[in-house]
Amino acid sequence: MARLLILTPAVEAEALPALGLLAHTVKQILATPAALVSAPPADMILVDARQHLASAKALCKILTTTGGGVPLALILTEGGLAAVSADWGVDDVILHTAGPAEVDTRIRLAIGRKSQDQVSTKIQTSGVVIDEASYSAKVRGRPLDLTFKEFELLRFLASHPSRVFTREQLLSEVWGYDYFGGTRTVDVHVRRLRAKLGDLESLIGTVRNVGYRFNVYEDEAEGRAPER
């Protein structure tokens, strides 16, 4: 059973009648940004776009920008389907005439996909947690103050533990093919990244005359740092 929040311009009417036949907890509130401030927690948000498509689109953009972390779906008439595009930022669309079996399946799949996405956006290894969704990283619970490129370098290396990359490969993967700077840039960013990792600086290992790799602890439970 999921907690569903419906944003609708007509709170007195059922935006999605099939929900009345399902066991989900449903709360309808006015479809305004102000109403979101005191909105109850939900496992999924549905925006009623049956009549006011422009207002619904603007509301969807606010919801995707603020990043609530829950799936977002539109309730539409069949005629409104043609107006929806990828830039709305929604996870699914549901026709207001859909039956209970279809509605229940769409809700279950949308929540399941979002849960899998949230798990897959985190890299946890050797005392470091990298959250790709929020572009943040922590070392032993301490937030790291990283620049965008430092974060990208750490994320890329941690995504390929123990694999050695040359400076040229790192320039291509992290900075892109259109970057015209020299390989010295990689060394500078590695040095800064190590400084911010503190006593875990040896996670970024050097392979002489080759490049860099992300080391992993042989025994993370003992907290021993790997050899550099």
Catalogue all structural domains in the chain, each as residue range(s) with its CATH number.
Answer: 3-120 (3.40.50.2300), 122-222 (1.10.10.10)
Residues of the chain below pLDDT 70: 67-68, 116-120, 177-180, 218-228
196 Cβ partners below 8 Å, 6+ apart? 144, 145, 146, 150
Q: How many CB atoms lie within 10 A of CB 210?
A: 11
What integer pLDDT is reported at residue 178 of this predicted model? Answer: 60
What integer pLDDT is reported at residue 226 of this predicted model? Answer: 43
pTM here?
A: 0.55
For residue 198 the two structure tokens come to 């503190």
Q: Which long-range contacts (CB under 8 A, 24 or more apart) does 115-118 make?
A: 118/69
Residues 96-145: pLDDT tens digits? 999 999 999 999 999 988 776 655 578 888 889 998 877 889 998 899 99
User: Is the distance from CB of 146 to CB of 131 less than 8 angstroms?
Assistant: no
